Amino acid sequence: MSTLIKYSILYLLLIFLLQESAFSQDSELKNIEQVTLVTDRNLYLSGESIWFSATYEIPSDTSLILSKVLYVELFGVDNKVIVSQKLIIKEGAASGKLIIPEQAITGYYKLRAYTRFQENFAPWQLSSVILSVINPFHPLPAISLSQNKEPISIASMANGNIAFRIDESNSNQVKSVELFVNDLQISDKGKYYSNGIGRFNHIVNKGDKFNMLVLLNSGDTLKSRTFSQTLPVELNTTYISNELELDFVNILYPNQELQLSLLNLTSRQFYSQKVNLIDGHALARFQINKIGNGLHLVSISNSKDSIIFETFCYVEQKNENAEVILTDSLVTPNQTISIDIKEVNPDNFPLAVSFVLKGTHSTESQLLPKYLINNPLYIYDYVTNNLLTGNDISNQIDIIVALSHNNLVHTIHKQYPKSGMIVPEINGLTLQGILLDSVTQQPMQNELIYCSVLGKQNQFHVASSSVDGSFMIPLNFLSNQHDIYLGIDITKEKRPEIKVASGFCPIPPPWVTSLFIPDSTTKGLITNMYMNYQVNKLFNPTRQQIQENSVSNRPAFGNNLEQIILNDYIQMSSMIEIFNELVPSVKVRKKDEHFEFVVSDNYINLRYNNPLVLVDHILYNNIDRLMQLQPTEIEKIDVASQVYAYGNHFFNGIINITTNTGNFAGLPLSNGGVFVEYETAEQDIKFVPFSLLSNNSRKPNFANTVYWDFYKNKNDLKELTITAPAGVAEYEILLISLKNKSKIIGKQTIRVIPSELTN
């Protein structure tokens, strides 16, 4: 079955996936793919490598596998891509590394992974991990606070309580906070966290006016502006066994049946049920094991499908402690550590194993980082990866969600411009683009687009533009950057413009700028990281990794063309003489003052005009200019003298001319063509522990990441032994399950001590 037919069938299958959107009357595809991304750690220095693994899943009740290529991008502090990769998904997984540029500035970075099919959906649905990067050579930028910025932000919580935030310049100087409602001071002193957020457990009724007064350690005070309570509905959440109970109060509508909807922002799964509104009160229950943990968008709609209330609730995860995986946590430098993980449940695979400097992956702090206050979409990943539970964490999450309510709603409902459905890559990497009229910018349909991959891995492909001008070309067995030429048959009536998509999503991940202020307690950790990085760079600058090579040297047209090498024959005086005397089944004739080729099929005694002509594997239609070349500029000519079937397309023979220089012998190329430097799939790469490197003789092993590996199933993990680093410090071994989103299932602190202390 040809690739084009496969994609046609796939497109029809995708149509059957159309269903009603959760919050819109427009029909859209359902995002059935799930990508889970995990990294060796979350804190890096500029210049270091990010090792990552990702899993690809689809629902168990479907057999349709859509995507075979994973797109990975690293976004800098300005939310622009600084490094990117494409990886082939093998057996539902992909692994690799990205190198952080040494000039990268200190701040929060976003690592994102997704498939082309997922580009049909809002960017907030794509898997992202927030990373912290420190550049030790550049100081932090000065903190600039707007003069118009409110020193205190206040928001109503879903249950009617009050959430507040104090700006960064004063958050560490707070002595006490006071709440005033209708000019009366409330006796509750409130709960304040040193990350700048807090709450008052006081129900403020609709129409009440309230403000806050903050006393600083310096004796100064901060006063907020006056707010008015406008929250129309109060929501109380309760956990009853394995059920989440949602109790809605003060819904100012007549008694009627309402539609209650839940959207899990992590899994993107949608759930709904009918509820009865009686005297402003409605009650609903959901099975937690069905709707899943994490942040949910809660919506209530009336009989006319109009949303009358919208808020968020966070469904807590069960209190799970990571298992201790070692009995001996004190080791000496370069000691071999054996890790017994035979008892790991097979259901927790795929499994990543990370051995890193302690503090670079997880934190023991019970304060949520300040970036989550502006970006609550990433709360679930942070909480699960750091095994955070308890009332303080739940309270902080509720506060953050309330403070970011409007931003969250805008992010989820924001409409992004789309130019049609992006076709998934079911066989491998594809080049996708659109063909337009350069003057009218209207799509050009039913035109053949010729694609030439240049270099040692040369390929030739042909595709036809669809009604909207879009086209798709498979790129097989390619890795790294490639020069690609795209062109069409040019006539006077055609004014083509070819636009090629890079394959990557053009819309960055949702992110509200957040100041990066490292905690003073991390100073020693960063110093240790910097020392390890410098030692490794000094003694081991050429650390080699294992790469899996899948390069194919198969000719673009196989071995089906007859080849003429000009050095095998007597030198001719002109190109006309070469074709008329040497090249079999091909003649050059002049018609209407222009040269043209005629190809003869001697088997069936037929002649063909307008064969496919290529020069150095690039489409070339100017035969007059071709005849002006000197014969000494030509190395060989390959010919197919019969009608040649290439995929779903047929050519009246093929003439492929290879020049001696490989650069088209100076021939002017068609105005309708375009050169593209296209990023193709990276080769698989595997982390090699220091003890297995061939060039590590008598070199010290100081590392921030000592070990990193990924195991798809338990059978892949026979025995796990790791050599302790030379650095005297505390390290962590973590077992990270990627099953149904990442979570730490095993954790052990390893302390490397000097050898003399063990004597």
DSSP 423: P
Do residue 39 and residue 111 come from a single domain?
Answer: yes
**Looking at the structure, do residues 124 and 47 belong to the same domain, yes or no?**
yes
Question: Domain for residue 526, yes or no?
Answer: yes
Tell me whether residue 741 is exposed, middle or buried, using C-beta atoms within 10 angstroms of its C-beta: 0 to 12, 13 to 18, 19 or more. buried
Considering the chain, what percentage of its residues have pLDDT values greater than 70?
89
Q: Are residues 125 and 36 in the same domain?
A: yes
Query: Would you say residue 672 lies in a domain?
Result: no
Kindly report whether the peptide bond that precedes residue 350 is cis, defined as omega within 30 degrees of 0: yes
Q: 678 with 500: CB under 8 angstroms?
A: yes
DSSP 3-state of 248: strand
| Segment (H or E) for 464 | strand 459-464
Is 216 domain-assigned?
A: yes
Model confidence over 88-126: pLDDT tens digits? 999 899 999 999 999 999 999 999 999 999 999 999 999
555 compared with 86, residue with greater pLDDT:
86
pLDDT of residue 213: 92
**Same domain membership, residue 40 and residue 15:** no
In single-letter form, the type of residue at position 648 comes to: N
Kindly state whether residues 245 and 271 are assigned to the same domain.
yes
317-364 residue pLDDT tens: 776 667 767 666 888 998 888 887 777 888 888 999 999 999 999 887
Same domain, 40 and 128: yes
Confidence category of residue 554, pLDDT binned at 50, 70, 90: low
**Which of 235, 255, 259 has its CA nearest to residue 245?**
235
- Domain boundary pick from 600, 626, 660: 660
Residue 747 is assigned to a structural domain of this protein: no
Q: Could you tell me if 3 and 54 lie in one domain? A: no
Using the structure block, give the residue that is written with the tokens 């100041």: 515
C-alpha separations of 250 from 160, 231, 637 in Å = 11, 10, 83
- Please tell me whether residue 625 adopts helix, strand or coil conformation: helix
Tens digits of residue pLDDT in 607-659: 888 889 999 888 888 889 999 999 899 999 999 888 888 777 888 889 999 99
Question: Which amino acid does the sequence have at 743?
Answer: K
Closest CA to 104 of 81, 134, 84: 134
pLDDT by residue (tens digit) across 590-601? 888 889 999 988
Residue 719 belongs to some domain of the structure: no
CA distances from 678 to 85, 502, 551, 746 (A): 11, 7, 17, 41
Phi, psi of 711 (to 5 degrees): -125, 125
- The domain spanning residue 285 has which CATH number? 2.60.40.10
Looking at per-residue pLDDT, the higher value among 126 and 228 belongs to: 126
Per the structure, the count of domains in the chain is 5
HSE value, Cβ hemisphere, 13 Å, CA-based, for 159: 16
Q: What are phi and psi of 530, to 5 degrees?
A: -65, -40
Q: Kindly state whether residues 608 and 651 are assigned to the same domain.
A: yes
Given 297, 315, 333, which residue is the final one in a domain? 315
For residues 208 and 111, the model is more confident at: 111
Give the domain range for residue 635.
562-660
Among the ranges given (356-360, 361-365, 476-480, 683-687), the one the predictor scored with the smallest mean pLDDT? 476-480
Least reliable range by pLDDT among 14-18, 74-78, 349-353, 748-752: 14-18
With b for 16 or more beta-carbon neighbours within 10 A and e for fewer, the 471-482 pattern comes to: bbbbbbbbbeeb
Instruction: Say if residue 17 is in the same domain as residue 52.
Output: no
- How many Å apart are CA 100 and CA 24, to the nearest integer? 40
Asked whether residue 211 is domain-assigned, the answer is yes
pLDDT at 19: 34
Which of residues 208 and 544 earns the better pLDDT score? 208
CA distance 629 to 665: 8
**Residue 406 placed within a domain:** no
- Dihedral of the CA atoms 158, 160, 165, 171 (nearest 10)? -120
**CATH at 643:** 2.170.130
Helix H or strand E segment including 114 = strand 107-114
The dihedral region occupied by 71, where left means phi > 0, alpha psi between -120 and 50, and beta the remainder, is beta
Beta strand pairing call for 336-339 and 720-723: antiparallel
Q: For residues 19 and 37, state if they share a domain.
A: no
Classify residue 723: in a domain, yes or no. no
Annotate 562-602 with three-state secondary structure: EEEEHHHCCCCCCHHHHHHHCCCCEEEEEECCEEEEEEEEC
For residues 631 and 580, the answer to whether their CB atoms sit within 8 Å is no
Average confidence (pLDDT) over 388-412: 91
Q: What is the pLDDT of residue 54?
A: 95
Residues 270 and 203 in one domain: no
Q: What is the per-residue pLDDT for 416? A: 83
Are residues 79 and 9 both part of a single domain?
A: no
Distances from the Cα of 739 to the Cαs of 89, 361, 572, 711, in angstroms?
16, 19, 68, 12
Out of 509, 540, 571, a domain closes at 540
Residue 695, pLDDT score: 65
Q: What is the overall mean pLDDT for the chain? A: 84
For residue 557, give the 3-state DSSP assignment.
Answer: coil
Quote the radius of gyration of the chain (alpha carbons, Å): 32
* Parallel, antiparallel or unpaired: strands 234-240 and 227-228: unpaired
